[in-house]
Amino acid sequence: MNAVPKEKMTAEEFVVWAEAQQGRYELMDGEVYAQAAERLAHAKMKLSVAFALTDAVQRAGAPCHVLPDGMAVRVDASTVFEPDAQLYCGPELASDTLLIREPMIVVEVLSPSTGRNDALGKLEGYFLIPSVVHYLIIDPDKPLVIHHRRGEGRDILTRVHHEGEIALDPPGLTLPMSSLYGAL
C-alpha cells in the first residue's frame, strides 16, 4: 500500500490520486485518511444494504441507481467521503465515473473506529451536498438505523428505527428493517 501524502489536496486532486492506490481513503479538510480494516459484520451489512436498496428501487420502479462502497462523494473543495452505499437518481452515469456528484441517499455502517465521525462529522458534511435527502447510519450488530432526513432550511430531522420500515421519500422507496437484519 502506498503512503498517505503529507501535503494537502483538493477534492479533484484526491480523486485522481486515490484511483491509483490500493485500499480505501477519504479526504477531510484537504488531508488524506486511510480507512481501517473491516470486521465481517461490517462487510456483510454493507452487502445487505446494497441489496435492500436495489430491491426497494425495483419494487418502486424508481429511476435510481444503487452503488456499493468504492464510489466517492465530493462534499466540498477539500473533502471527499466514500459512503458504504449510496443511491442517485436520473440517467445512468458513465462507466468511467469516479465521483458521484448528486447522491440522494448515503449510508454509513458503524464501526468501532469510525462511529463518532459517522455520527457527527459526516452528518454535517453529507448535508452540505444539496442533493442529499437521506443519511442512514446503520449498526451492524443489532437492529438500529438512525435515519437523518433533510428538513426545511438547515433543519435535519432524525428518526431511530429498530423495526418496521424506513420511508425514503423522495424518491419514494420503502426499506424494510427485515431486509437489513433478516426476520426481526
pLDDT tens digits, one per residue of 163-172: 999 999 999 9
Write down the domain spans for the chain: 38-181
Q: What does the block give as the cell for 60?
A: 418502486
Q: Which of 125, 123, 64, 72 is nearest to 100 (CA)?
A: 72
CB 137 within 8 A of CB 42: no
Q: Which CATH architecture has domain 38-181?
A: Alpha-Beta Complex (3.90)
Helices (H), 4-78: 11-19, 40-60
**Would you say the C-alpha torsion 27, 17, 54, 140 has a positive or negative sign?**
negative
pLDDT, tens only, 97-142: 999 999 999 999 998 766 666 677 899 999 999 999 999 999 999 9
